[in-house]
Amino acid sequence: MDFKVADLSLADFGRKEIRLAEHEMPGLMAVRKEYAASQPLRGAKVMGSLHMTIQTAVLIETLVALGADVRWVSCNIFSTQDHAAAAVVVGADGTVDDPKGVPVFAWKGETLEEYWWCTEQALSWPDGSAPNMILDDGGDATLLVHKGAEYEKAGAVPPATADDPEEWHVIIDVLTRTVGADKKWSKVAESIKGVTEETTTGVHRLYEMHKNGQLLFPAINVNDSVTKSKFDNKYGCRHSVIDGLNRATDVLIGGKVAVVCGYGDVGKGCADALRGQGARVIVTEIDPICALQAAMDGFQVTTLEDVVGIADIFVTCTGNFNIITAADMAKMKHQAIVSNIGHFDNEIDMAGLAKLPGIVRNNIKPQVDEWIFADGHSILVLAEGRLMNLGCATGHPSFVMSNSFTNQVIAQIELFTKTSEYPIGVYTLPKHLDEKVARLHLSALGVKLTELSKDQAAYIGVHIEGPYKPDHYRY
Ligand SMILES: NC(=O)c1ccc[n+]([C@@H]2O[C@H](COP(=O)([O-])OP(=O)(O)OC[C@H]3O[C@@H](n4cnc5c(N)ncnc54)[C@H](O)[C@@H]3O)[C@@H](O)[C@H]2O)c1
Ligand SMILES: Nc1ncnc2c1ncn2CC[C@H](O)C(=O)O
């Protein structure tokens, strides 16, 4: 079995934490039980590109329990938990000397070249065959397949230019090496029945590709299951943004001024958490509705320009780019903390910061850098601008990821077993499946649902067993 992880001897530690996590992931354990006999993913060859954490290990082993053949990478160079990766490779029945688990290509602290090498490895099986399903988070695996097929069709790979980001140069290098007469990427694209996408930014990429007529296979937007984005994005970040700040800096948050850029699902969770720690939280927004929500939730809402010189902590969560520029950072207080919890690292202009005259990078510890400006003052940047809850901490806890990942498994089953019902396009799961995911998580929290009477159901126009809301309902 081919794989590449940091240290296989960490497998025993990882297995212990996977066992604890299973207890906190009732949705995944329930679908393992529900589908154990029918094996709906038998024949599925799933390439996964999603943060290689203990929670993801439970997801991977659920896919395998349902019959899937899986290969895995992380979707971020800092988010892998090495003991989780080791445990997945070794497997529950294997040993370090005789691993019987799943091929994983991931370790914490990958270079960009290594990251894209890992993605390339996981997209091809040892026998030369290709995956027939992708489970993506952010869309990097989907991007590599699409660009490879596009350039094979065009007959050439365009060179990266000096203005292109460093990562695009790395991607072009991979494609220049692999695009050729054998039509490797076109065959991969033809083999794939569909992709299930985890996150907001990845979903945005899918809708853009489909709008431009470029999408090569159907996609399920897992992010917009209510039991994903209104839970993971909000309550998950509410938990893990503080974890990231504490593990990175141990700075007191109470009494400080914190700026949250973006008041969507993630921003709502982050602002709530920072206020809970006693910070005075200021929100920036472009959307009048989200800005009004923030104001009515009691937050000051203003522009970054107004507060960049007085704030102590910055958290970007917009899914947009260049939210905090190098010029902004130069104006910040001494030892202000700058972080991003959005999917990609382009929310903070790290390239612009590194180019400032006289700037000095002083590494404090892994994923914590002091950047010292020519005038002598400095700021602390977390995880090199990459998502700090996974770069500086361990991401969301298991229970909230169980909601997200139960949606992922259901989406994989939908797309793999009912492909003909999904012509190329981007879909969300039907509401009854969303409500099913919620139901699977209620008893663990001691929830006792009220039963609708027949008359009440008729009165509000729903079936007793649901769905309980129309598709246009906003939770
Ligand atoms: N780190 C994690 O664990 C985690 C979890 C879930 C999602 N995410 C990522 O976090 C990001 C945000 O996700 P979301 O679900 O909250 O998205 P969202 O679309 O719900 O919220 C983003 C908000 O940012 C606002 N915004 C956009 N540009 C802005 C700008 N220039 N200034 C201020 N506000 C701006 C938008 O109006 C929107 O309200 C995405 O990249 C998503 O993939 C990360
Ligand atoms: N613990 C986690 N394991 C895997 N992925 C995680 C974890 N915490 C946050 N994430 C990020 C995925 C999240 O659903 C997203 O939308 O980015």
Helix ranges (H only) for 24-138 are 26-35, 54-65, 82-90, 112-122
- Compute the distance from residue 286 Cα to the ligand 1 centre, in Å: 11
Write a three-state SS string for 397-454.
CHHHHHHHHHHHHHHHHHHHHCHHHCCCCEECCCHHHHHHHHHCCCHHHCCCCCCCCH
Q: Residues near 208 by Cβ (< 8 Å), separated by ≥ 6?
A: none
Q: pLDDT tens across 373-424, in order?
A: 999 999 999 999 999 999 999 999 999 999 999 999 999 999 999 999 999 9
Ligand 2 site residues, Cβ closer than 6 angstroms: 51, 53, 55-56, 137, 198-199, 232, 236, 343, 390, 395-396, 401, 404
47 phi and psi, to 5 degrees?
A: -100, 120
Rounded to whole angstroms, the Cα distance separating 157 from 147 reads 9
User: 146 forms bridges with which residues in the sheet?
Assistant: none
Return the percentage of the chain with pLDDT > 90, whole number.
100
Rounded to whole angstroms, the Cα distance separating 322 from 387 reads 15
Rounded to whole angstroms, the Cα distance separating 195 from 27 reads 21
Q: What DSSP element (H or E) covers 372?
A: strand 368-372
pTM over 0.95: yes
CB 210 within 8 A of CB 426: yes
Rounded to whole angstroms, the Cα distance separating 219 from 207 reads 9
Whether the predicted interface score ipTM is above 0.85: yes
> 356: which 2 tokens?
């400032």
Closest ligand 2 atom, residue 397 Cα: 1
Does residue 287 have its Cβ closer than 6 Å to ligand 1? Answer: yes
pLDDT at 181: 87
Q: Residue 175: pLDDT band by 50, 70, 90 thresholds?
A: very high
Give the mean pLDDT of 177-192.
96
Does residue 229 have its Cβ closer than 6 Å to ligand 1? Answer: yes
| Ligand 1 atom 39, closest CA | 264
Binding-site sequence positions for substrate: 53, 137, 198, 228, 232
